[in-house]
Amino acid sequence: MARVANSLAAVRAGVIGLAFAAGLAVAGGALAAPLTTVAKDDMTLGSPKAPVTVIEYASASCPHCARFNNDVFPAFKAKYIDTGKVRYVLREFLTPPTEVAAAGFITARCAGRDKYFTVVDQFFHGQAQMYQTGDVGANLMAAATAGGVSEPQLQACLNDKAANEALVARVKLYETRDHIQSTPTFVINGKTIEGETTLEKLDAAIGAAKPRRSWPGF
């Protein structure tokens, strides 16, 4: 576990060190695709042919995001994603403590697409206890284990410079292109809802959404 803690420190240093460079890269180009386009590196659930796309910008360190995941998302998924009515996209954002958010998402991506949401869900469910105890490493390890990632694999992923660079670049893109300032933020077929929300509010927004014609993506 000490090695995980050391890797977390490396993530913190990497996120801070890479943020400026990533900001320059985003500012220099890479802004062509609209926010509603589902990109190759987006993590998604549900049918690409669903008439409504719900994009959530979330941070793994955000208590509001954890409450949505734990209390609202299961019913939302059963009602809309599992029935083919909605395609859900989770876009990773970093809020303080940014190194915790970054480590959570890097751990999830370390598990691969098939286990990504399993890891995110486990991390969110352990978030409150993590803040109570201050033991980030234990929550990371529990989330990694849920996704079939061993401690050596987790350590390697947290120390992966390319993974850190890619995450920071995505966050900078969302800040610059999509104007995201806080989490959670939801975009439903192009319409934005900011802040923690309920299933009832999502029902209304999805009901009012115009079916998308055809958004390019994957």
Asked if residue 213 belongs to a domain, the reply is: no
Please state the pTM of the whole predicted model: 0.86
Residue-by-residue pLDDT tens, the chain, 218 positions: 656 655 566 555 555 444 434 443 333 344 445 577 899 999 999 999 999 999 999 999 999 999 999 999 999 999 999 999 999 999 999 999 999 999 999 999 999 999 999 999 999 999 999 999 999 999 999 999 999 999 999 999 999 999 999 999 999 999 999 999 999 999 999 999 999 999 999 999 999 997 755 444 44
Domain count, the chain: 1
Range of the domain at 16: 2-208
Q: DSSP per residue over 44-98, as a string?
A: EES-TT-SEEEEEEE-TT-HHHHHIIIIIHHHHIIIIITTTSEEEEEEE---SSH
Asked if residue 156 belongs to a domain, the reply is: yes
Q: How far apart are CA 121 and CA 66, in angstroms?
A: 8
What CATH number did the domain enclosing 118 receive?
3.40.30.10
Asked if residue 217 belongs to a domain, the reply is: no
Answer whether 157's CB lies under 8 Å from 170's CB.
no
Asked if residue 164 belongs to a domain, the reply is: yes
